[in-house]
Amino acid sequence: MLAVTCFFNYNNDRLNCFTIFIKQWRGIMDFKNTFFNSIKNKSKLSDRAVADDFLKDFYFFPEAAPSVNVLLTIPAGGKINFTTPVHYIFNPFPAHLLIYTISGSGAFSVNETVYTADTSHCLFFDCTKPFSFEHKGHNWKFYLFFISGNALSSYYELFQEVYDVLYPVPAGSSIPMLFSELAAMPSEPSLKDILLCNKKLHDIFTEMILSALEQSDPEKPVADYLVNMKEAFDNHYEQEYSLAYFEEFTGISRYRLCREFSAAFSSSPLQYLNQRRIEAAKELLLNSDMPVHEVGSAVGIDNTNHFIHLFKKFTGTTPFVFKQAVPASIRELRSPYKPGGLPPQ
Sign of the CA dihedral with 314 first, then 317, 320, and 322 last = negative
pLDDT of residue 302: 94
Question: Comparing 8-216 with 224-330, is the CATH topology the same?
Answer: no
Q: Is the pLDDT higher at 290 or at 58?
A: 290
Q: Give the residue, 37 or 227, on which the prediction is more confident.
A: 227
Residue spans per domain, the chain: 8-216, 224-330
Span of 37-46, 251-260, 293-302, 314-323 with lowest mean pLDDT:
37-46
pLDDT of 201-215, one tens digit each? 999 999 999 888 877
What is this structure's pTM?
0.56
pLDDT at 61: 47
Contact 117, 105 (CB under 8 A): yes
- DSSP bridge pairs for 114: 109
235-255: pLDDT as tens digits: 999 999 999 999 998 999 999
Instruction: Catalogue the E-assigned strands of the chain.
Output: 8-11, 14-17, 22-23, 60-61, 73-82, 86-90, 96-103, 106-110, 113-117, 121-126, 131-135, 140-148, 166-168
Asked if the model's pLDDT at residue 187 lies above 90, the reply is no
Question: What is the torsional sign of CA 294, 299, 302, 308?
Answer: negative
- Give the tens place of pLDDT for each residue, 74-127: 877 778 887 777 777 888 877 888 999 999 988 988 888 899 999 999 999 998
Instruction: Report the pLDDT value the prediction gives residue 321, as an integer from 0 to 100.
Output: 87
Question: 251-279, pLDDT tens digit by residue?
Answer: 999 999 998 998 888 889 999 999 999 99
> Beta 22-23 vs 60-61: how paired, if at all?
parallel
**How many alpha carbons lie under 13 Å from residue 210 in its C-beta half-sphere?**
9
Of 142, 22, 23, 20, which is closest to residue 80 (Cα–Cα)? 142
**Residue 98, pLDDT score:** 93
Q: What is the pLDDT of residue 53?
A: 33
What is the dotted CATH code of the domain comprising 8-216?
A: 2.60.120.280
**pLDDT for residue 331 is more than 60:** no
Give the residues across from 8 on adjacent strands: 17
Q: Which CATH class is domain 224-330?
A: mainly alpha
CB 257 within 8 Å of CB 243: yes
Instruction: Kindly report, residue by residue over 31-43, the tens digit of the pLDDT.
Output: 345 556 676 655 4
List pLDDT tens digits, range 128-185. Answer: 888 888 888 778 888 888 888 888 989 999 898 888 899 998 877 889 989 988 888 8
Q: What is the largest CA-CA distance in the chain?
A: 76
Instruction: Provide the pLDDT for residue 39.
Output: 67
DSSP code, position 43 = G
Does residue 19 have a pLDDT over 70? no
Closest CA relative to residue 126, chosen from 168, 81, 90? 90
Say whether pLDDT at 20 is over 60.
no
Query: In the predicted model, what is the mean pLDDT of residues 276-293?
Result: 89
